[in-house]
Amino acid sequence: MMKEKKGGRPKLSPTEKLKYRIAVNLCTKDYYVLKAKAIQAGMTCAEVARLAISGCQVRQRLTTEQMDCIRKLSSMGNNLNQITRKANAEGYSNARNEYLYLADKIDNALTLLEDGSKDS
């Protein structure tokens, strides 16, 4: 009669087994940064990399339409700064119409950006 082994490490489930391997090339700086973080945490470099992968969020790149909208918002922000300077120099009543027009354009651009991000 053979006795069953008691104790020892329990077997990992198939989802917990580390059976996939990837090769990653790092520059010297990145390698030593990873190694320093691993030493500080008392872990191996592989454990730190696995934690970084599981803890990060990868977002889709911005579409060309979204990038165009961001550029337009940036230029509108610059225009708003110019209007503010003009308002401070000449008085607020002269700049009101320009401000209202630009505020409406910015609101439209933000609506476009929000609509584009909901689709993805």
Let me know how many helices (H) and strands (E) the chain has, helices first.
Answer: 4, 0
Question: 75 and 52, same structural domain?
Answer: no
Q: How many domains does the chain have?
A: 2
Residue 13 located in a structural domain: no
Distance, CA of 77 to chain centre? 23
AA letter at 22: I
Range of the domain at 53: 24-58
Predicted model pTM: 0.43
Sign of CA dihedral 11, 14, 19, 22: negative
Residue that is last in its domain, among 32, 58, 84: 58
Look at the block and give the residue holding tokens 């990653």: 24
Distance CA 90, CA 57 (A): 48
Which of 65, 101, 110 shows the shortest CA–CA distance to 80? Answer: 101
52 plus 85 within the same structural domain: no
Residues 41 and 69 in one domain: no
Shared domain for 40 and 75, answered yes or no, is no
pLDDT tens track, the chain, 120 positions: 566 667 788 888 887 888 888 888 999 999 999 999 889 988 899 988 888 888 876 677 788 888 888 898 888 888 888 888 877 777 776 677 777 788 888 888 888 777 765 655
Residue 31 lies in a domain: yes
In a domain, 19, yes or no: no
